[in-house]
Amino acid sequence: MCQDKNHEQQGFTQKAQDHASGVSTASAELIAELVTANHILYDQGVLDAFGHVSVRHNQYPDRFVLARNMAPGLVQAEDIVEFDIDGNPFNAAGRAIYLERFIHGEIYKARPDVMAVVHSHSPSVVPFSVSKTSTLRATCHMAGFIGTSTPVFEIRHYAGDTNSLLITNNELGHGLAQSLGERSLVLMRGHGSTVVADSLRRAVYRAVYTELNAQIQAAAQQLGEVTFLSEGEVTETVRVIETQVTRAWDFWSIKAGATAKALAEQKSQLV
Ligand code: MN
């Protein structure tokens, strides 16, 4: 399709012109927190060489920060790039940037309450994005945020049936944000999922438990008929259990820090 060819020309270049300022205004604290989020999501098996996590700028709500195009487990502070809400970088300085950065900007545009976005291909979730009979839904108490069903973004509705399945421009990102609506999670057919929250730590928690809930739900459905969380349980579990997010973050960050250190040492030996 002609439209998809445009996506290729825009997206596969992977490089974009920086804003004239050429500098990031994000604080060292925000950047450090995002580096930790990258390491946790890799260490917890949510991100591998692909997938990404962003956080909205805490001073300029129409900007966000996201790593340059690289494996999340290897991200360091100098790899974090600031973007405007349309996905244009401030300080990429010619470095490659993620093809699917439009996921982040379009969700921040559509959802003023969202402060962080995780996009992943975590493997247990993908089957629910293609199943015609099972919807991913809250199966255990840690995953109430999933609710009693999950929307699935069908890219063919926007890009026809010849497409890369990737969100390579703002139009597709807008479509994804529409599918997400007011929810915390949207699946992307044959591709992965995107989860959002009002804080980076909560978004990381939700990304980890989206994958775990998918494993648990698939295992339960193998056994036969399943009792899922009710609407009331969904509301109550989120209200009570998501007050405990910091415990998970503190533990996961210690474990992920050790993994990231070992990876960085191995990388430096290769260079
Ligand atoms: Mn993707």
pLDDT tens digits, residue range 145-162? 999 999 999 999 999 999
Give the up-direction half-sphere exposure of residue 121: CA atoms within 13 A in the CB hemisphere. Answer: 10
Cα(18) to centroid(ligand 1), Å = 23
Cα(103) to centroid(ligand 1), Å = 9
Band (pLDDT 50/70/90 cuts) for residue 66 is: very high
Cα(47) to centroid(ligand 1), Å = 10
- Residue matched to tokens 């999933």: 146
Kindly state the tokens that stand for 239. 């209200």
**What pLDDT shows up at residue 15?**
77
Given the DSSP bridges, would you call strands 192-197 and 152-153 parallel, antiparallel or unpaired?
Answer: unpaired
Cα(224) to centroid(ligand 1), Å = 32
Q: Which CATH code is given to the segment(s) 7-246?
A: 3.40.225.10
Cα(167) to centroid(ligand 1), Å = 7
Helix (H) or strand (E) holding 105: helix 102-110
Band (pLDDT 50/70/90 cuts) for residue 12 is: low
**What pLDDT shows up at residue 4?**
44
Residue 195: which of 253, 127, 117 has the closest Cα? 117
Mean pLDDT of the chain: 94
Judged by average pLDDT, the poorest of 7-16, 71-80, 183-192 is: 7-16
Query: Looking at the annotation, which residues are catalytic?
Result: 100
Kindly state the tokens that stand for 136. 């991913």
Cα(254) to centroid(ligand 1), Å = 27
Q: Please give the residue that has the higher pLDDT: either 268 or 70.
A: 70
Residues 219-228 have a mean pLDDT of 98
Residue 155: which of 141, 143, 166 has the closest Cα? 166
Band (pLDDT 50/70/90 cuts) for residue 6 is: very low
